[in-house]
Amino acid sequence: MKNIDSFGHVRGESLFLDDIIPQQNTLFGLVFDSPKAHGILKKLDISKAEAIEGVIKIFTHKDIPGENQIGGIIPDEPLLAENEVHFLGQPIAFIVAVSESIAKEARTLIKIEIDALPVITGAKEAAAKQQFIGTPRTFNLGNTSKAFRKCDYVFEDAVFTNGQEHLYLETQGAYAIPMENGSIKITSSTQGPTQVQKGIARVLGIGMHMVEVDVIRLGGGFGGKEDQATPWATLTALATYLLEKPVKFILNRHDDLRMTGKRHPYESNFKIGLAKDLKIIAFEADFYQNAGAAADLSPAVAERTIFHATNSYFIENVRTSVYSCRTNLPPNTAFRGFGGPQGMFVIEAAIAKAAHEIGITAKEIQEINLLQENDELSYGQIMTQTEAVSSWQSTIEKFNYKKLITEVNAFNKRNNDFKKGIAVMPICFGISFTNTPMNHARALVHIYQDGTVGISTGAVEMGQGVNTKMLQVAVQTFAIEPEKVKLETTNTTRVANTSPSAASSTADLNGKALLKACSAILERLKTVAAQELKVNEEEISLLNEWVYVNSKKSSLSWKKLVAKAMLARIALSEKAHYTTPVIHFDKTKEKGHPFAYHVYGTAMITTTVDCTRGTYVFDSIKIVHDYGKSMSEGIDLGQVEGALAQGIGWMTMEEIAYDKSGLLLSNALSTYKIPDIFSIADNIEVIPLETDGNEMAIFKSKAVGEPPLMYGIGAYFAIQNAIKAYNPNYTLKFHTPMTPEKVLMSLYEK
């Protein structure tokens, strides 16, 4: 089915936060943030700023009636700084004025004095100073120290993966309106309406029942609005609550880039051991995660790094450890893949290093170590319905790797100004929130007496097409036309206590809850139909808005059936609750079965490097992806292509740069480059792996949001292989992104 939003989007009619027509007397917010990355707040003078006409009030931490705290996993993050600042961009005051331009003017008049303290910007630098968040985590399988002694080859190296800016088209923001008796209604651009509701209640010192959060849709989230929509919504709510006025606050791009966290940069070390036959016998890795100045979601992100540290491979002896390191950068946060990509890059780097040293291609190592049915991962999950080998073989055969590599080698023999490189990238990504208690959802369904349907779930539409998938669940269950179904906004008063829309699990969790609710109503309707038509319930089925008895069309239409049910005083509304079965995890043992299932696939990426300029193009990207039984092929293909582009961007061109003082240098789109339509191959082909799908996926249509991002990792190694073909003196480096500057240096390295 086509995305139900495409029509509205292309006509510019879809509603986003900024499309809400502001009420009269709406005020506008703006954050005054720390100009220094670390220091003691000596003096804050807001008097001049507050004195200008049109400024209503400037809030500081002193105005907060509840708790000045927004930390989700660990309470280590004040909403507004008190005595100390921990990153450049940290909110210190919230200016509320009659217009944005006046608020901006006021911001320039705030005077601040900070006694600077030492600034830490790197993860290993923080680790050396024992600046850790929480305790390190280690997964163990077998015995690596014993196993290394048996290895024919052992290689070690260091790896750096840079962060990544979410660059959602729609920046962060919220619009709050005062309601009766001190309650608030807020529209927020958040992936986590409940997170926002909880945050506001905590900061205002009121009950969650006094806060209604509504989400229309997001102009992209990519993880950046899982937890980090909360501070802006909370500031907006604070002003609305205290001033009893509507307040709107949408960050401009510069503020958003400076103040919000990004994908976590990681510094890592690996040690890989192989036997003569290229079996990987042992693997060790230490991951140093640059968490930024507060925990945010870092411990959860760190956990997923070691869950995915062996990617699609079975390794008998594994020891992986992750350290979350506190630095003076904005708190880094969820980003598509949630730590998984950082883990996977390291094992791919280890394989590339081993291949280079042994003098073979990485492919030869990759393919004999792929996961097989019943293999055990380092965290204890036994793999079932494993598609690592099938997706690999499918890619190699269907896209004719043999022919391609022969062509690439022949090209490289003939040409010296240009070199080609090829890389194969398998993926294996676990589906479920790694934190088991988060895997639940609810849905609320109303059938109106005219036969139309209203649906509410906890799912937030952020471009990934979840609303279309939810609509499909209802349409399919009731056998009615899509026009009869409306997806309501995501609202905490209709569906409460939701997990954020994240972990690629939104459609599975909310879809399963919705299916339950729809099925319950359907059962009641079938009873009504059976009574009405004087047949057994089992004989009733629905098709194209009509009731059938033993596959024969009856006199009863869907519309009539609903009307009859209404007269018979049957409940036409239902809510349902779904929790993922089977999953569990024991953190004391670091073993369990945390994922409902895994998503697989294999990409093959070919690049041509211009050896005079260091620039590169991707000639072709061929993917076999495991969709299960895709319920929306167009949407799922869009997710694969979008994630791939984002992955390639992370690997090749998106370069976050902070200077030593913690100042973001890549603070605009002139200095932070993301892929455009020309950066990605014309020649992208994605074909589905034919599988049975998975029972725990909605309609056996597997989660698709994050996994394909990791195909992009192949881009790094394809370019590296082209560099190797040009410069025999090149020493392998694992330092992302592989920008044209770095390529050029590598091509001419002695």
Among ligand HPA, ligand MTE, ligand MOS, none, residue 281 binds (CB under 5-8 Å by kind): none
Local structure of 8: helix, strand or coil? helix
Q: Where are the beta strands (DSSP E) in 654-724?
A: 684-688
Judged by CB, which is closer to ligand HPA: 241, or 597? Answer: 597
* E runs forming strands in 481-633: 485-487, 490-491, 540-543, 546-549, 552-557, 573-579, 584-586, 591-593, 597-610, 616-625
Asked, as a colleague might, if the bond just before 737 is cis with ω within 30 of 0, I would say yes
Q: Which residues contact 120 (CB under 8 A, 6 or more apart)?
A: 38, 126, 129, 131, 326, 327, 328
Which of ligand MOS, ligand MTE, ligand HPA, none interacts with 433 (beta carbon under 5 to 8 A by kind)?
ligand HPA
Q: Does 222 participate in binding ligand MTE (rule CB under 6 A)?
A: yes
Our finding on whether 503 is near ligand HPA (CB under 6 A) is yes
* Residue 709 in contact with ligand HPA, rule: CB under 6 A: no
Catalytically active residues are: 706
Q: Which of 378, 464, 477, 554 binds ligand MTE (CB under 6 A)?
A: 464
Candidate list 463, 614, 693, 707; residue touching ligand MTE; CB under 6 A: 463
Site string for ligand MTE, 669-708 (x = CB under 6 A): ----------------------------------x-xx--
Looking at beta carbons, which residue is closest to ligand HPA? 503
Site string for ligand MOS, 327-366 (x = CB under 6 A): -------xxx-x----------------------------
Residues 117-136, one symbol each (x = binds ligand HPA by CB under 6 A, - = not), give --------------------
Contacts of 11 (CB under 8 A, 6+ apart): none
Site for ligand MOS in 208-227 (CB under 6 A): 221, 223, 226
DSSP H or E stretch at residue 648:
helix 633-652
Among ligand MTE, ligand MOS, ligand HPA, none, residue 466 binds (CB under 5-8 Å by kind): ligand MTE
Residue 596 engages ligand HPA in binding (rule: CB under 6 A) = no
Query: What x/- string results for residues 308 through 347 when contact with ligand HPA is judged by CB under 6 A?
Result: --------------------------x---x---------
Direct distance between the N- and C-terminal alpha carbons of the chain, in angstroms, rounded to an integer: 55
CA dihedral 288, 292, 296, 300 (to 10 degrees): -10
The binder of ligand MOS chosen from 355, 503, 623, 656 (CB under 6 A): 503
Rg (CA), the chain: 27
Q: How many residues bind ligand MTE (CB under 6 A)?
A: 21
Number of Cβ atoms within 10 Å of the Cβ of 188: 33
| Distance of alpha carbon 741 from alpha carbon 748, whole angstroms | 11
Q: Is 490 in the site for ligand MTE (CB under 6 A)?
A: no
- C-alpha distances in angstroms, 91 versus 193, 225, 329, 332, 463? 21, 17, 13, 15, 29
Site for ligand MOS in 685-714 (CB under 6 A): 706
Q: How far is the CB of 73 from ligand HPA (least distance, A)?
A: 9
d(CA 74, CA 748): 47
605 closest CA partner among 348, 387, 404, 337 = 404
- Site track for ligand HPA across 404-443, x = CB under 6 A: -----------------------------xxx--x-----
Beta bridge partners of 429: 599
Q: Kindly state whether residue 502 participates in binding ligand MOS, applying the rule CB under 6 A.
A: yes
Triad 161, 167, 169: Cα angle to 5°: 160
Smallest separation (angstroms) from ligand MOS to the CB of 221: 6
Does position 440 interact with ligand MTE (CB under 6 A)? The reply is: no
* Rounded Cα–Cα distance for residues 674 and 669 (Å): 8
Footprint (CB under 6 A) of ligand MOS, residues 58-97: none
Residue 465's contacts (CB-CB under 8 Å, 6 or more residues apart) are 3, 5, 632, 635, 638, 639
Q: How far is the CB of 501 from ligand HPA (least distance, A)?
A: 9
The most distant pair of C-alpha atoms in the chain lies apart, rounded to whole Å, by 88
* 504 near ligand MTE, judged by CB under 6 A: yes
Residues making contact with ligand MOS (CB under 6 A): 191, 221, 223, 226, 334-336, 338, 502-503, 706
